[in-house]
């Protein structure tokens, strides 16, 4: 059953109706599903599992992977339970007192010889025959969740332990805190372990702490974002911006004031634009790896409020957090056997990675950590605010471009949808999962990305086929050139690899700009060989009975799709092709859409045959969407009045291209000199 709050207040929360009590009810709703699968205080948090091909543990995995699942279930479900334990210490579910359960299971997890012992770092290293001198293990991640939850439930659990029990837990934590970790966001896990130990009077190596902290700080790229490894995604938010706030309070403000001050500055910088990443309903975009963590993307708002001098509007923060919470909990496919599915909405295998297990989605409970804020805190008492959405003029599209992380986010007043365009992407040629998560041309809050449909067709991605040898290529590197005169510039390389100079790689120069309901693309071919065939897919459209209409005007073609998503919400999309394309086609798919079992992908296709012939270079198209069956106007579907090329052949090989819209606006597309503006 979907979550239905018993308590609402539309005076305080005019957008969502949710209050602090509503959030407590949501936490109980989630935890009730967990304990539906736990029959005894001695049972571990190992949940029912329906997916066995991708996620761990697998039959050939070492013992530590099986132990990691136990720890992941314990620590991540503790994210839900810890604030509830503080609020309702006598809460009982399925006949089990929640406080007593987690108090017992934490001790079991850290105690050698116990059935639910999860192995400390030393034990795992001893059993590891991989030969990896710098091995790091999943348990390191979960130790950070554990210490956060022990802090949240300090009065009810940590302070009730005996000195011997505390020392036992501290020894387990110290073994991880001072050991190897993965050299990206994982350093924060070690930092929190060390900070928790320090805060509770245990000795730590402060040089190790300082080394981790300075590395984390120097991943900062500006605009509040951090580079995680080589990627930009929500890890910058639910890891870097969440954990640094806790670290500041436990350790940084006292022991490393310079670093702590920078972390706080970066959090406040993020708050200047991060609210724009959510749509008018507060929906989170399906973007980047670990999409199963869902609304954990809202946790930086709570984190900012932990800083000494937070900058976020608390009413706006709660409005977004509540909207994103309802995005998932209101759906009838969100839970399976009481547990959040391995998907974004319902089960969705294309989203999954091998480092996840059935209990991994509990990471979304980071969004629930805001329950640590007392009931008189402004986060709970301020009236909900719509932020920038309240200030947009009719039909206005607000564009926010961040050169640091290479992100461009657009808030469309006309449909309430937020679209994200990304850059600075480096993926292996064969990494289709990574390309879907990162390299889509546009990510849309109401039309989540469609997985690979066929070898030659992808939604919101170009696919290239050399027709002489049948080789099919996808764009795996995206360079960022930023915005100029309201046009965003990027470049995508197909089959990019450092062993070959990029001049011998097929590429597309990308240029796109916002219109009231979506994005117009004016991309330019940058090919070194032909003949070829190129396709471009629109957003995947959930097919629960869809009307598809084809239209033509002034030589341009469009397809209009009308239907409903899994929840019955009205959906509409129009895909228009202008210059450079030959045909507009349809393909039906199953199992590739995160919202519905069946889906439709409209795609454009074209060919270029001459190795050095002067053929049309520009590919101009538009995708617009809305959550209504009310017809788009003809001018919205065909918004271009005329396209003016500099070259007399009208191919766009050189010189600016002027796109004149029927609204009277003009966009100039000019790739000259873009070579000097790229970053990665």
Q: Classify 587 as helix, strand or coil.
A: strand
pLDDT tens-digit map of 168-223: 999 999 999 999 999 999 999 999 999 999 999 999 999 999 999 999 999 999 99
Q: Give the pLDDT confidence score for residue 81 in this predicted structure.
A: 98
Of 299, 291, 229, 557, give the one whose Cα is nearest residue 440. 291
Give the architecture (CATH level 2) of 397-676: Distorted Sandwich (2.70)
Phi, psi (5° rounding) for residue 145? -60, -40
Q: Give the pLDDT confidence score for residue 376 in this predicted structure.
A: 97
pLDDT tens-digit map of 452-474: 999 999 999 999 999 999 999 99
The answer to whether the CB of 659 falls within 8 A of the CB of 669 is yes
Q: Give the pLDDT confidence score for residue 596 in this predicted structure.
A: 98
- Report, as an integer, the average pLDDT of 605-621: 96
The answer to whether the CB of 24 falls within 8 A of the CB of 87 is yes
pLDDT tens-digit map of 239-250: 999 999 999 999
pLDDT tens-digit map of 565-584: 999 999 999 999 999 999 99
Share of the chain above pLDDT 90, in %: 97
pLDDT tens-digit map of 77-98: 999 999 999 999 999 999 999 9
Answer yes or no: pTM beyond 0.95.
Answer: yes
- Whole-number Å distance between alpha carbons of 91 and 340: 21
pLDDT tens-digit map of 256-287: 999 999 999 999 999 999 999 999 999 999 99
The answer to whether the CB of 511 falls within 8 A of the CB of 522 is yes
pLDDT at residue 127 greater than cutoff 90? no
Q: Give the pLDDT confidence score for residue 181 in this predicted structure.
A: 97
User: Which ranges of 248-287 does DSSP label H, i.e. alpha helix?
Assistant: 253-255, 257-273
pLDDT at residue 485 greater than cutoff 90? yes
Residue 71, C-beta contacts closer than 8 angstroms, at least 6 positions apart: 109, 118, 138, 139, 142
pLDDT tens-digit map of 151-162: 999 999 999 999
pLDDT at residue 2 greater than cutoff 90? yes
- Whole-number Å distance between alpha carbons of 258 and 520: 45
Q: Computed from CA positions of residues 355, 360, 364, 366, in that sequence, does the dihedral angle turn out positive or negative?
A: negative
- Whole-number Å distance between alpha carbons of 189 and 140: 7
Question: What's the mean per-residue pLDDT of the chain?
Answer: 97
Q: Give the pLDDT confidence score for residue 502 in this predicted structure.
A: 79
The answer to whether the CB of 575 falls within 8 A of the CB of 623 is yes
DSSP secondary structure, 403-426, as one string:
TTTTEEEEEETTT--EEEEE--EE
Q: Give the pLDDT confidence score for residue 229 in this predicted structure.
A: 82
Tell me 346's DSSP state: S
Element spanning 492, H or E:
strand 487-494
- Report, as an integer, the average pLDDT of 288-297: 97
Q: Give the pLDDT confidence score for residue 503 in this predicted structure.
A: 84
For the chain, what is the largest distance between any 2 Cα atoms, rounded to a whole number of angstroms?
A: 84
DSSP secondary structure, 132-184, as one string:
-TT---HHHHHHHHHHHHHHHTTTTTGGGS-HHHHHHHHHHHHHHHTS---SS
The answer to whether the CB of 488 falls within 8 A of the CB of 674 is no
pLDDT tens-digit map of 19-49: 999 999 999 999 999 999 999 999 999 999 9
pLDDT tens-digit map of 623-653: 999 999 999 999 999 999 999 999 999 999 9
Phi, psi (5° rounding) for residue 663? -75, -10
Of 301, 331, 335, 328, give the one whose Cα is nearest residue 315. 301
Q: Give the pLDDT confidence score for residue 499 in this predicted structure.
A: 86
pLDDT at residue 498 greater than cutoff 90? no
Q: Give the pLDDT confidence score for residue 170 in this predicted structure.
A: 98
CATH 2.70.98-classified regions of the chain:
397-676
Phi, psi (5° rounding) for residue 239? -110, -70
- Report, as an integer, the average pLDDT of 312-316: 98
Q: Give the pLDDT confidence score for residue 650 in this predicted structure.
A: 97
pLDDT at residue 130 greater than cutoff 90? no
Burial 486-510 (b: 16+ CB within 10 A, else e): ebbbbbbbbbbeeeeebeebbbbbb
- Report, as an integer, the average pLDDT of 478-492: 98
pLDDT at residue 500 greater than cutoff 90? no
For 23-390, CATH number out of 3.30.70, 1.10.3470, 3.40.50, 1.50.10 equals 1.50.10
CATH 1.50.10-classified regions of the chain:
23-390
């Amino acid at each position: 059953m979907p979550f239905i709050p018993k308590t609402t207040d539309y005076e305080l929360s005019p957008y969502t109706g949710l209050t602090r009590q509503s959030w407590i009810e949501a936490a109980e709703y989630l935890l009730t599903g967990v304990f539906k699968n736990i029959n005894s205080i001695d049972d571990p948090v190992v949940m029912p599992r329906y997916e066995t091909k991708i996620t761990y543990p697998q039959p050939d995995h070492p013992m530590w992977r099986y132990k990691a699942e136990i720890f992941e279930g314990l620590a991540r479900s503790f994210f839900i339970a810890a604030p509830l334990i503080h609020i309702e210490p006598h809460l009982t579910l399925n006949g089990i007192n929640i406080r007593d359960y987690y108090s017992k299971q934490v001790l079991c997890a850290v105690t050698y010889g116990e059935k639910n012992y999860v192995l400390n770092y030393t034990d795992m290293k001893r059993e590891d025959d991989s030969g990896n001198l710098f091995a790091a293990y999943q348990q390191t991640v979960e130790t950070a969740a554990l210490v956060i939850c022990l802090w949240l439930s300090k009065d009810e659990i940590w302070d009730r332990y005996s000195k011997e029990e505390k020392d036992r837990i501290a020894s387990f934590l110290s073994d991880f805190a001072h050991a190897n970790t993965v050299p990206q966001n994982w350093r924060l896990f070690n930092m929190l372990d060390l900070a928790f130990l320090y805060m509770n009077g245990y000795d730590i190596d402060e040089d190790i702490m300082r080394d981790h902290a300075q590395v984390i700080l120097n991943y900062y790229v500006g605009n509040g974002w951090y580079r995680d490894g080589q990627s930009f995604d929500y890890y910058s938010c639910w890891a870097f911006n969440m954990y640094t706030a806790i670290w500041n309070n436990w350790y940084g403000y006292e022991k490393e004031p310079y670093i702590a001050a920078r972390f706080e500055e970066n959090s406040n910088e993020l708050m200047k634009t991060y609210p724009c990443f959510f749509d008018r309903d507060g929906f989170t975009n399906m973007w980047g790896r670990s999409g199963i963590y869902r609304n954990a993307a809202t946790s930086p708002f709570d984190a900012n409020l932990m800083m000494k001098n937070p900058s976020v509007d608390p009413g706006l923060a709660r409005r977004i957090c509540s909207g994103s919470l309802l995005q998932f909990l209101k759906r009838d496919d969100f839970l399976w056997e009481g547990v959040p599915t391995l998907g974004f909405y319902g089960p969705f295998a294309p989203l999954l990675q091998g480092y996840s297990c059935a209990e991994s989605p509990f990471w979304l409970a980071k969004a629930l950590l805001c329950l640590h804020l007392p009931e008189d805190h402004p986060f709970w008492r301020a009236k909900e605010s719509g932020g920038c959405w309240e200030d947009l003029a009719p039909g206005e599209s607000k564009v926010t471009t961040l050169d640091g992380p290479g992100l461009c986010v657009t808030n469309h007043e006309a449909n309430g949808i937020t679209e994200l365009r990304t850059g600075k992407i480096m993926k292996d040629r064969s990494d289709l999962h990574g390309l879907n998560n990162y390299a889509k041309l546009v990510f849309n809050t109401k039309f989540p990305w469609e997985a690979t449909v066929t070898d030659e067709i992808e939604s919101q991605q170009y696919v290239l086929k050399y027709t002489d040898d049948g080789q099919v290529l996808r764009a795996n590197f995206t360079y960022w050139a930023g915005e100029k005169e309201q046009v965003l510039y990027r470049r995508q390389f197909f089959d990019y690899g450092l062993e070959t100079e990029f001049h011998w790689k097929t590429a597309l120069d990308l240029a796109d700009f916002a219109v009231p309901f979506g994005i117009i693309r004016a991309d330019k071919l940058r090919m070194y060989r032909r003949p070829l065939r190129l396709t471009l897919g629109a957003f995947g459209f959930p097919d629960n009975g869809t009307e598809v209409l084809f239209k033509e005007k002034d030589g341009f073609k469009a397809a209009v799709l009308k239907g409903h998503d899994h929840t019955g919400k009205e959906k509409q999309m129009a895909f228009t092709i202008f210059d450079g394309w030959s045909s507009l086609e349809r393909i039906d798919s199953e199992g590739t859409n995160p919202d519905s079992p069946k889906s439709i992908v409209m795609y454009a296709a074209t060919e270029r045959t001459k190795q050095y012939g002067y053929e049309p270079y520009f590919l101009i198209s538009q995708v617009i969407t809305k959550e209504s069956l009310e017809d788009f106007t003809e001018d919205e579907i065909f918004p271009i009045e005329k396209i003016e090329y500099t070259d007399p052949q009208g191919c766009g090989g050189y010189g600016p291209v002027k796109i004149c819209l029927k609204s009277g606006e003009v966009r100039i597309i000019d790739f000259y000199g873009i070579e000097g503006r790229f970053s990665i």
